[in-house]
Amino acid sequence: MGISLSVAAESWPIAGSFTISRGSRTEARVVVATLHLNGATGRGECVPYPRYGESVEGVVALIEAQAAWLASQPSARQARLGLLDRLKPGAARNALDCALWDLEAKQANIPVWQLAGLSAPADAVTAYTLSLGTPDSMREAAQKAAHRPLLKVKLGGAGDPERIAAVREGAPDSSLIVDANEAWTDDLLEPCLAACRAAGVELIEQPLPAGKDDALTGLDAGILLCADESVHDRSTLDALATRYQAINIKLDKTGGLTEAIAMADAADARGLKLMIGCMVGTSLAMAPALLLAGKAQYVDLDGPLLLAKDRDPGLSFSGSRISPALAALWG
């Protein structure tokens, strides 16, 4: 008997709402894959993302379609390696890949970080995200979060210089990174960059739309430019070198921890700095990504902090500091 599979779609309320340039939402819709083999259980969570043509229903169906193949697999490791050829990078592969890592660890009674040849996980400081809003509302949000060491500011295009200035006014001592989510245009680029420089912003994620970012080629912005929507797996790295100095690795884009580890090493070999990021999900989605925090200059795994309620057990947060996951959660 091989690996058995069950799949569940879940909704987790967000505390208030979460707004970026593409819209607002009040819940995180996630998909959880649960695998069983010889009395051991492994779980993995993914967050389907419409920007990449994904839906909860489509991802559930894609995962369920792997049930017969998984039942033919004699081990979690063999299935995990075979999965890279069966599914393209994306949310469905992420849930299964992480569940297979968890299953292998539970069977071997060895933590995932050791199985993967990674350094022992340690506490990490995560960015805390401020949703897109008016300058006044973002100043108020920044004031409430001003005790946090690193804030990530969601931007939306026109009016962003005023938003950036307002956030800096509200949180004068926090380090700032910003995420435009593809919302800037070539005309907005320089005034927005100038505002970021004036506010002491350290990093800008995806200022221009993926595939329409030629204006970044050879640009000396004076701030790290970080690819997000433009980068998915290792095959997309080489095209970025002249436009970006950093990349945001998200497991829902890479299709799991297996590819994310390889991608982190490949990025480092190219001199690219790393951010380890996330979609808005529960601690089950953050735990695998947290294993890569030691390789990253920036960690953005605040998904559970944005929820009204997290899993139990979940990750332990002390302010913006995250502790490694307990085995009861994952890994």
- 295 labelled catalytic: no
Return d(Cα 285, Cα 203) in angstroms, integer. 24
Among candidate residues 88, 144, 152, 250, the one labeled active-site is 250
Return d(Cα 21, Cα 238) in angstroms, integer. 27
Angstrom distances, CA of residue 300 to CA of 57, 125, 290, 313, 322: 27, 8, 9, 20, 11
Angstrom distances, CA of residue 21 to CA of 122, 212, 230: 33, 17, 16
Are 175 and 145 contacting, i.e. CB atoms less than 8 angstroms apart?
no
**Which tokens go with 245?**
């100095």
User: Phi then psi for 230, rounded to 5 degrees?
Assistant: -80, -10
Among candidate residues 88, 106, 144, 154, the one labeled active-site is 154
- 152 labelled catalytic: no
Are 256 and 94 contacting, i.e. CB atoms less than 8 angstroms apart?
yes
Where in the sequence numbering do the catalytic residues fall? 154, 250
